[in-house]
Amino acid sequence: MEDIVSLFHGFAVVLQPFNILLMCIGILLGVIVGVLPGLGGANGVAILLPLTFSMSPTSAIIMLSCIYWGALFGGAITSILFNIPGEPWSVATTFDGHPMAQQGKAGEALTAAFTSSFVGALFAVIMITLVAPLVAKFALQFGPAEKFSVFFLAFCSFIGMGKEPPFKTIVSMMIGFALAAVGLDSVTGQLRLTFGFESLLNGFDFLIAVIGLFGIGEILLTMEEGLEFRGKSASINVRVVLQTWAELPRYWWTSLRSCLIGVWMGISPAGATPASFMSYGIAKRVSPRGRNFGKGEIEGVVAPETAAHAAGTAALLPMLSLGVPGSPTAAVLLGGLLIWGLQPGPLLFVEQKDFVWGLIASMYLGNLAGLIIVLTCVPLFAAILRVPFSIIGPVILVFCAIGAYTVHNSTFDVVMMLVFGIIGYALKKTNYPLAPMVLAIVLGDKAEEAFRQSLLASGGGLGVFFSNALVGSIMALGFVVLFLPLIQAAWTRMRGAAAA
């Protein structure tokens, strides 16, 4: 009940004219970020983060989270009209979305995609509203060992549930942790791993890493592929929207299933991309029209879009309540909290009520505003995509450089950005996942602190991580997720042996 009051208070904050303006600017920027190659949710937010330093944290998070919603919406536009996924989570949308556009049903496909996104996000936000305060209250009792076990679980799920080879995920993650360790040791105050270089005193900032790995790396990939945009034109009019809306309730079961998949995958840090693929795959298998999938079936647009948005939104639940982001973009938002002087984690719900509920309220309104904006502005966004890459490419480079510079007003960071970019390109081409690295850079200090404090309390024994039922079961769950591929393989073999 108290939470409902707080939520309405949050709505009042968001509905201030200045915040509504920021919301719309955020959505517009977000869609542009989502539409352009080389700019994604994570680095879009990272580049624009410095612009918010002078704002109040609540206004800042409203604008930045709206950039995130916008980016989620924007990915669908390029997938459907150009058959180019603007974001990895919209790859599955191309399978049926683009065939629909080729058949002249671009309007229907876009309306279905946007509406499904909205439904998925709404489902996840309602879930966050109901569950997040409870999780936070629970997590308030966590000691260092429990905190570490949550980090452990989050990172294990990357290794066990990711589609990349597990040892590549481990390397990528551990490099992230090591980069986070460079500079001042937060526990002892000692300098480490700087090898006498003064510019390493403050360590590596994850924002620079995000801008380099995702932004510059993506531009290099785009250059290599020699991308050319040849798209379908699209216009959406009221009649098409209403027609599609009348048709959509038929797929309520697909929607609900995709919402559940999305929310589950979003909370565990698997993220939006696997959620969209999984949802598409299941819909294809169980739908009576499953054989038409891939030829322009509207259900094939509904399933991945709903799941991707539900996952993208649900990724904010662990970030808000536990301080463990569920996706790279959520990690950047978490970094933003630190910069604005807020301590992410369960205490937010006690100490920063305005901020938390303002953010949750802006999720409701931001997604609604997003739906309206994307439905009305599709031709504008499609026009942006027609600007040749020889103009867009260098402009994105310049904005990445500006974003990297403004983090600490340091030109050395701009150089580091390029270095991260080249590393990102090489790692991506050799199938190393980048998301675990970014998350490790963000969480490294906190994970290490929790680990060392636990060991300090136990006098060095690892038994502290199994000292009570709670921490023991989270750690055990972590190990189960870590060895999930092996467990699944063993299970299949056992079943095969039993059947034979």
Partner 1 sequence: MDEGQAAGPGQRSVEIGVTVATALFGLIVILGSMQVGIGWGAEGPKSGFFPFYLGVIIMLSSAVNLLEAARKSGDKIFADWSQLRQVLAVVIPTAVYVTVIPWVGIYVSSFFLIGLFMVWLGSYRIWYAFTLSAVIMIATYMTFEKWFLVPLPKGPFEDFLGL
Binding site for partner 1 (CB under 8 A): 50-51, 53-54, 165, 167-168, 170-171, 174-175, 177-178, 181, 185, 187-188, 190-195, 216, 219-220, 223-226, 388-391, 393-395, 397-398, 401-402, 405-406, 409, 411, 414-415, 417-418, 421-422, 425-427, 429-430, 432, 448, 451-452, 455-456, 460
Least distance from C-beta 205 to partner 1, angstroms? 16
162 vs 421, beta carbon nearer partner 1: 421
Q: Does an H or E element contain 184, and which? A: strand 183-184
17 vs 249, beta carbon nearer partner 1: 17
End-to-end CA distance of the chain: 56
Least distance from C-beta 270 to partner 1, angstroms? 21
Q: Quick count: other Cβ atoms within 10 Å of Cβ 33?
A: 28
220 vs 382, beta carbon nearer partner 1: 220
Query: Of 27, 73, 67, nearest to 47 (Cα)?
Result: 67
Q: Does an H or E element contain 57, and which? A: helix 57-82
Least distance from C-beta 137 to partner 1, angstroms? 30
Least distance from C-beta 76 to partner 1, angstroms? 26
Least distance from C-beta 73 to partner 1, angstroms? 23
Strand-pair partners of 183? 192
Contact 377, 31 (CB under 8 A): yes
**DSSP per residue over 192-232, as a string?**
ES-TT-GGGTT---HHHHHIIIIIIHHHHHHHHHT------
Least distance from C-beta 394 to partner 1, angstroms? 4
175 vs 347, beta carbon nearer partner 1: 175
Q: Which two tokens stand for residue 289?
A: 């029209």
Contact 319, 333 (CB under 8 A): yes
412 vs 466, beta carbon nearer partner 1: 412
Q: What is the DSSP secondary structure assignment for residue 408, as one 8-state letter?
A: H
Q: Over the range 443-458, which residues count as b (16 or more CB within 10 Å of their CB) and which as e?
A: bbbbbbbbbbbbbeee
128 vs 475, beta carbon nearer partner 1: 475
Least distance from C-beta 390 to partner 1, angstroms? 3
Least distance from C-beta 455 to partner 1, angstroms? 6
CA 109, CA 399: separation in Å to the nearest integer?
32
Please report, for residues 157, 160, 193, 269, 315, the alpha-carbon distance to residue 477 in angstroms, rounded to integers and kept in the order given: 10, 11, 33, 14, 19
249 vs 388, beta carbon nearer partner 1: 388
Q: Quick count: other Cβ atoms within 10 Å of Cβ 56?
A: 16
237 vs 390, beta carbon nearer partner 1: 390
Q: Which two tokens stand for residue 376?
A: 């009305």
